[in-house]
Amino acid sequence: GESVGLHLPTLSVQEGDNSIINCAYSNSASDYFIWYKQESGKGPQFIIDIRSNMDKRQGQRVTVLLNKTVKHLSLQIAATQPGDSAVYFCAENMGGGKLIFGQGTELSVKP
Amino acid sequence: DSGVTQTPKHLITATGQRVTLRCSPRSGDLSVYWYQQSLDQGLQFLIQYYNGEERAKGNILERFSAQQFPDLHSELNLSSLELGDSALYFCASSVATGVTTEAFFGQGTRLTVV
């Protein structure tokens, strides 16, 4: 069935370093992907999205890369800050707001 | 603050009981989504309503039901509760239902079944 999974459950980085969080998806027909950030005690928060007709999209300090050949997504965070510590989810939008979430990667930023 | 309000924030109840979770979407949003987040299943889509009508269904148990009222707030009803229903329940809302429409999540209701 459909699934979106993350390669690493935890990631620890030094403040100021770049972070890369990976995600694999299984539905080759998927058209739209979103990265969410979830801080402790809060709901998921939209970070950045990408359509399947793009390979790369940049936001403020974040970049999402999409490799449709191997069905892989990555989220790159530049100059990681303590405030970036959270769980990051990739999600596949199946249409109508139905999101298929990956299992999440916990990012820990060491000062 | 996403603008989506969920009440209560915490709920503790016994097995076999029934509870109602409430969600007020952002002003102007017509679509409401419910998600369940548990340790073993992660974030799972349960159900979506758009302007009062059910629009999409996910992995929602028959013991669970939802509705969206004319004022667009939504309620998720969980009955015959089991220990395994303990989870965070999130509501999200969006202005439309298109694939690229951004959904905004509330802070969630933490349900503990004892």
Per-residue HEC secondary structure of chain A comes to: CCCEEECCCEEEEECCCCEEEEEEECCCCCCEEEEEEECCCCCCEEEEEEECCCCEEECCCEEEEEECCCCEEEEEECCCCHHHCEEEEEEEECCCCCEEECCCEEEEEEC
Comparing A26-30, A37-41, B110-114, which segment has the lowest mean pLDDT?
A: A26-30
Is 70 exceeded by the pLDDT of residue A31? yes
pLDDT band at B99 (very low <50, low <70, confident <90, very high): low
Q: What is the DSSP string of B35-103?
A: EEEETTTEEEEEEEEETTEEEEE-S--TTEEEEE-TTS-EEEEE-S--GGG-EEEEEEEESS-STTPPP
Considering only CB atoms, A101 lies closest to which of B43, B101, B106, namely: B43
Q: Is the pLDDT of residue B2 over 80?
A: yes
- Mean predicted lDDT score pLDDT of chain B: 93
pLDDT confidence band for A28 (50 / 70 / 90)? confident
Q: CB A98 to CB B48 under 8 A?
A: yes
* B4 near A CB under 8 A: yes
How far, CA to CA in Å, does A66 sit from each of A33, A58, B30, B56? 9, 12, 31, 27
pLDDT value of position A74: 97
Count contacts between A and B (CB, < 8 Å). 65
Instruction: Give mean pLDDT, residues A86-98.
Output: 85
- Tokens representing residue A32 in the block: 């739209």
Confidence of residue B100 (pLDDT cuts 50, 70, 90): low
pLDDT of residue B96 exceeding 80, the answer is: no
Stretch 15-74 of chain B: residues touching chain A, C-beta under 8 Å: 31, 33, 35, 42-45, 48, 50, 55-56, 58
pLDDT at A3 over 70: no
Averaged confidence pLDDT in chain A:
89
Question: Chain A contacts of B108, Cβ < 8 Å?
Answer: 42-43
Query: How does residue A8 score in pLDDT terms, banded at 50, 70 and 90?
Result: very low
- A44 vs A41, A69, B96, B104, CA distance in Å? 10, 28, 19, 8
Is B3 in CB contact (< 8 Å) with chain A? no
- Contacts of A51-55 with CB under 8 Å at 24 or more apart are A51/B100
Q: With contacts defined as CB-CB under 8 Å, which chain B residues touch A101?
A: 42-44
List beta partners, residue B53.
Answer: B50
Q: Is there a contact between B45 and A98 if contact means CB atoms under 8 Å apart?
A: yes
Q: Is the pLDDT of residue A7 over 60?
A: no
Q: What percent of chain B has pLDDT over 70?
A: 97
SS3 state of residue B113: strand
Q: Which residues of A touch B105 (CB under 8 A)?
A: 43-45
